[in-house]
Structure 1
């Protein structure tokens, strides 16, 4: 049960970071925004698989 809570919080944090970066820094730069979003998702996935997968 707690694992589901951690994953939900982690996903909400991922969404908040992606939306925050899009709105604050990369509002009108489509390709740079897309690349940054992909990079953020890759970093979050790597951290998940490295640290949080065994919860």
Structure 2
């Protein structure tokens, strides 16, 4: 397997993690259930973007 797609996937996963942590810290620090729902939503949005635009590149 070529190294370039692996690096892109790792960077995409790191970007998703950064967004999740930033939203947690900025908006939902002391609220468990809303934070969990928003985190799941963020992961689903990243998954949808990956499936739609980045899977075949």
Q: TM-score range by the shorter chain?
A: over 0.9
| SS of equivalent to 1:27 | coil
User: Which residue of structure 1 lines up, in the alignment, with residue 16 of structure 2?
Assistant: 14
Aligned residues: 55
| SS of equivalent to 1:54 | coil
List runs of 5+ in structure 2 lacking aligned partners. none
- Please report the RMSD computed on the Cα atoms of aligned residues, expressed in angstroms: 0.5
Q: Relative CO higher for 1 or 2, CA cutoff 8 Å, sep ≥ 6?
A: 1
Structure 1 residue ranges, 4+ long, deviating more than 3 angstroms after superposition: none
Shift of 1:49: 0.5
Bigger Cα Rg: 2
1:15-30 superposed matches below 5 A: 15-30=17-32
List runs of 5+ in structure 1 lacking aligned partners. none
How does the TM-score come out when normalised to structure 1? 0.96
